[in-house]
Structure formats: structure tokens, C-alpha cells
Amino acid sequence: MREIDLLTEFSQKAGTEIDLKNIKIDDTTLRDGEQTAGVVFANDEKIYIAKMLDKVGVHQIEAGIPTMGGDEKEAIKKIASLGLSCSVLGWNRAVKSDIDASVECGVDAVAVSISSSDIHIEQKLRKSREWVLESVKTSVDYAKSFNLYVSVNAEDASRSDMEFLLKFARTARDAGADRLRYCDTLGILDPFETFMRVKNIIDIIGMDIEMHTHNDFGMAIANAIAGIKAGAIYVNTTINGLGERAGNAAFEELVMALKYIEGVDLGFNTTLFRTLSEYVARASDRILPTWKPIVGSNLFVYESESKASGILSNPETYELFNENDVGLERKVILGKYSGVNTITYKMGLLGIKIKRKEAEELAEIIRDKTISFKRALFDSEIIDTYKSYKGRSGKSKEAKRKVSDGNNKK
């Protein structure tokens, strides 16, 4: 019962008290997205994606990792010099030379990233907590000396000791950092845990928080929203959720969830979402699943009688937004689950008006066909099916006529 009471309190708080205005998106398709095992963008692709993100309305673009040098550095330099409306951020380890590379690229913001969990500090960095705090302080100081906007990224924050994480945040804040990025690096939080932890940091330290969530257990979007409800104002997203392992919070899903579930309209140009998603899918050589939330090509395709019956009467029966809102198309196809209403409508689109009885009979024929084809029917197959069905039901007359013709010849 105690658990329920606590969570009810949190849920109510999350539902009402929080002001969701001034939410900002920091898109990291070009950094964490490209860091995905197997993904490489060409420089021109990076520049094109940056331009599109800006056009859609993103507030900040994480353009890459300047210290990698070479092509990567060139691309970031180019993006920073495009004169975009959004801020351009370079990603750095908490190391001076990394920040120098960012400064050379001409970005206006930097992320300074360092792990805050004991497991990462001991096993990966092979250093101490004190060393971590010292690195945060020196690198923020250094970045601030160039008048840059500074985000301090607490990598693996979700596995960090809360006391130490608070110390980490305080160190960052006191050194002049503009925000703290809370990284659920392994995607191990659920929305309730996320809410409580982020709220805790905000209540105690009182600095701007950015959510960086991963989708390992399918929670990336829900956790980002939980963070916002707890008072975070930035979210780190990627187009299509592109990112290491199971990926990050998908940009298009977050924007639409904010708009249609939480009632926060960021004013983005959502009609470009499909185009943007397709472009990133191609550039990252990863197909866009037809069922991908928000932008999948199958989302406004209806086959089953139960859904089609509602949709044909009023799309709001099954849809919270329109296909045009995200640059998709609506379609009705005929398959195993189609029934009278679906078939009558589809035939109408194909220019054939049919009666209810015909629709009932056709439904069975079409169902058998789709089962043997193991797929929905093409329009041409539907027309062909209808023609042979009409041929069959008109056969008796036809047959008689032929017989009499024959008789005449004799």
C-alpha cells in the first residue's frame, strides 16, 4: 500500500503541478546517432541533416566530436558556420584538448562528458571520484573561459550513487555549467524511478537538467517525458531513435507525444518528419520499419474490418493525429481481416459499386486468396478477383447463351 500511495502522489504531481513550457530539444543524431555501431555519415549528409533539423525547428544540434579530427572536425566546422537559427554543440570528454578542438570548430556550446557511476569510474576510467570532480571543475572552467554554453554530461548517471551525483551536479553548477545532462546510459530506469531521481536533483541543486535516455527496455520516450515532468527542460533525441544498441529517444516520437499526450506544442514543422526520417534512414543504411511510431509507412494503412469501420466513419475513432501532420499517406488494403465495410469502400475507390451481398461473398473469396498468398492483395488482384467473381455469378446466363448459339449453328 505504501508503494501505491507514494506513486499515486508522484503521478498526480507529474500530472498537474508541472509547467511544461519552455521545453527544448537538443538533437544528437549527428553525434550519438552516428556513434551507433556500423553507422557512418558522409560529411555532406551531416550538413544536410543539420539543415533539416534547423528547418524543422530543433533548438540545438549536437554536431559531433571535434577531437576526432579530420573529416569529423571539418563537418562540425561547416555546420557551425551555416548560420543556423539553432545552437550548435560539440561533444567532448572532460579534457582540455577536446575543448580546444571544439573551440576551433566555432561551436557556441559544448558538452563535457564524464562518467559519474562507480562502476565506470573504477572499471572504465580506472580513477577516483575526486579525480572525476576535479576534471569536471577544470574542464567547465576552461570551457567557460571561451564563453561557451556548457552542458556537463553525467554519463551512467542512473547507476550513480545519488549522494555523489549531487556532489557532481553541485561541482558543475558552481563551476558555471549551464546545465546537467542526466544520462540513463544503459536504459535501466522506468518512468517512476526517473521522475523521482530527476526531481531530487532539481529540488536540491536547482540547475537546468537535460534528459538523455536509451531504449534498451523500450522506455526511452517514457523516461524522457518523466524527466520533463520532474522539471527537466532539455531532451537529447535522435531521428528514428538512431543510437547505440537499442538507440535513444526518437525525436519524432517525443515531439508528438509532448503535443498529443502532454499538451505541449513545440511548434515544430511536423509535416517534414517523414522526409527527415527517410533521409536519416538512408544515410544510416537502416531501413525505416513500416510500423515505426509516428513515421512508419504502415501507420495509416487499414485492413481489418474493426478498425476500418471506425476510420471510414471518423478517423478520430482510432487516430489522435492526421496522416498529413507527419507527411504520411492513408490507404485501405484488403486482406484476411477485411469485411463488408472495408471491401465496399475499397471497391468504391476502384470505381466499382457493389451490393452488400456481393461484398459478403467477395470477403470470403478475398480471405481465402490472402491466406494462400500470405499477404494482402494488390489493387489489380482485387479487380481481377471481382471480375472472375462477376463472371462466375453471371455464368449460368452466359452458358445458356452459348448453348443456344451452338444450336443455331447446327
Partner 1 sequence: MAITKSKRYVNIIDTTLRNGEQTAGVVFSKHEKIRIAKMLDEIGIPEIEIGTPSLGAAEREIIKEIVKDSFNSKLFVYCEAEPENIEYAVQCGAENVIINISTSDIHLKEKYKKNKTWVINKLKETIRVARQNNLNFIVSAEDATRTDLGFLLKLISIAKKKDAYRFRICDTVSKFDPFRTFLYISTISNATNFPLEVYNHNDFGMATANGIAAIRGSAVSLVVSVGGLGEGTGNAAMEEIVMALKYLEDIELGIETSKFREIAEYVARASSRAIPVWKAIVGTNVFAHESGIHADGVIKNPKNYEVFNPSEVGLTRQLVVGKHSGSHTILHKFKEFDIELTDKQANEILTLARAMSIDLKRPLFEKELMYIYNEYSKKNKSRKEQEVES
Q: Tell me the site size for partner 1, rule CB under 8 A.
A: 107
- Minimum CB separation from partner 1 for residue 120, in Å? 6
Using CB under 8 A as the binding rule, whether residue 261 contacts partner 1 is answered as yes
Cβ closer to partner 1: 204 or 350? 204
Using CB under 8 A as the binding rule, whether residue 324 contacts partner 1 is answered as no
Using CB under 8 A as the binding rule, whether residue 216 contacts partner 1 is answered as yes
d(CA 150, CA 180): 9
Using CB under 8 A as the binding rule, whether residue 280 contacts partner 1 is answered as no
List binders of partner 1 among 32-51 (CB under 8 A). Answer: 34-42
For 203, 257, 377, 381, the CA distances from 206, given in Å and listed in that order, are: 6, 26, 58, 64
- Minimum CB separation from partner 1 for residue 388, in Å? 19
Angle, CA of 200, 213 and 287, to the nearest 5°: 170
d(CA 197, CA 180): 13
Cβ closer to partner 1: 84 or 157? 157
Q: Interacting stretch for partner 1, rule CB under 8 A, among 131-139, 296-304, 350-358, 399-407?
A: 296-304
Cβ closer to partner 1: 86 or 194? 194
**Alpha carbon of residue 353 to chain centroid:** 41
Cβ closer to partner 1: 70 or 351? 70
Q: Interacting stretch for partner 1, rule CB under 8 A, among 76-84, 282-290, 344-352, 385-393?
A: 282-290
List binders of partner 1 among 166-205 (CB under 8 A). Answer: 185-193, 195-196, 200
Q: Interacting stretch for partner 1, rule CB under 8 A, among 28-36, 52-60, 138-146, 163-171?
A: 28-36
**According to CB under 8 A, which one of 100, 108, 319, 381 is a site residue for partner 1?**
319
List binders of partner 1 among 128-147 (CB under 8 A). Answer: none
Using CB under 8 A as the binding rule, whether residue 23 contacts partner 1 is answered as no
Using CB under 8 A as the binding rule, whether residue 375 contacts partner 1 is answered as yes
If phi > 0 it is left, if psi is from -120 to 50 it is alpha, else beta; for residue 267 that is: left
List binders of partner 1 among 54-113 (CB under 8 A). Answer: 68, 70-72
**According to CB under 8 A, which one of 336, 383, 385, 389 is a site residue for partner 1?**
336
**According to CB under 8 A, which one of 22, 83, 147, 218 is a site residue for partner 1?**
218
Using CB under 8 A as the binding rule, whether residue 365 contacts partner 1 is answered as no
Contact predicate 318/307, CB 8 Å:
yes
Using CB under 8 A as the binding rule, whether residue 225 contacts partner 1 is answered as yes
**According to CB under 8 A, which one of 30, 247, 343, 358 is a site residue for partner 1?**
247
Using CB under 8 A as the binding rule, whether residue 119 contacts partner 1 is answered as yes
- Minimum CB separation from partner 1 for residue 99, in Å? 17
Cβ closer to partner 1: 125 or 146? 125
